[in-house]
Amino acid sequence: MPEREDTTSAPVVGPETSAAPERDGGAAGTGSGVSGAPGADSGPVEDGAGDRVEAQDEAGTGDESDGDDEPDGDRDEDRGHREAARRRRELREARAERDRLAAVVERFQRRDVEAFVTEKLVDAADVWRDGLTLPDVLDDDGDVDAVKLAAAVDALVQAHPHWAVDHGDFRRHGGGGRGSAPTPEGVGTRALGAALAAAAGRAPTRR
């Protein structure tokens, strides 16, 4: 009986089996060649560095712009403060001038009132003694209202009759003020006329 050959001890090498190491070796060689090449990793490293440089440039540009805006903002704020101070000063000056002119107008108005009441009151200043104020006797235009003033003076005379002018008293024409002593007997135009007449009657008659 013929002996069988032992085919299990030696591997059968086929086309596919022999090609696999070549593919693996080629892949391995290719991988090792790519990873070991000097310029293989330089591409990604340069891209990252470029991004960092660009980011730094942008950050630097932002800082410079902020630094440039800061002085402008300060100058604008200073200008605003100066403008506000100038306006406040002008407002104070305008109010002071208004008050000064109002005081001048009030003096003229009071003079007009007192000139009006001199025909009824011995002392014109008495018109203010019972609390009368300018607005009480002024019209809408700020002029003295004769009707209002006459009514106020009439009420004042009724309350204080001794303040009123006695038109039969010579004191109204500068002979004296309130409380002056009465005219003594023998003084005045009538008494002087009587004395002259008596003297003329006693004078000797020329022949």
pLDDT tens-digit profile of 111-163? 999 999 998 999 999 999 999 999 999 999 888 999 999 999 999 999 999 99
Note whether residue 38 is domain-resident.
Answer: no
118 domain residue, yes or no:
yes
Q: What is the pLDDT of residues 45-58, one digit of tens each?
A: 455 555 565 655 55
Provide φ and ψ at 132, rounded to 5°. Answer: -65, 140
Residues paired with 164 in a beta bridge:
121
Any domain includes 123 = yes
d(CA 199, CA 189): 15
Q: Is 41 helix (H, G, I), strand (E, B) or coil?
A: coil
**Shortest CA distance to 124 belongs to which of 163, 155, 151, 152?**
163
Please say if the pLDDT value at position 176 is more than 60: no
- 197 is a domain residue: no
**Reported confidence tier of residue 75, pLDDT bands at 50, 70, 90:** confident
pLDDT at 6: 54
| Burial class of residue 181, CB neighbours in 10 A (0-12, 13-18, 19+) | exposed
Report the domain count for the chain. 1
Whether 172 is in a domain gets the answer no
124 contacts: CB under 8 Å, gap ≥ 6: 114, 115, 117, 118
Look at residue 84 and tell me if it is in a domain: yes
User: Is residue 166 domain-resident?
Assistant: no
Residue 21 CA from chain centroid, whole number: 95
Domain-located, residue 120:
yes
For 99, the domain range is 77-159
**Could you tell me the pTM of the whole model?**
0.42
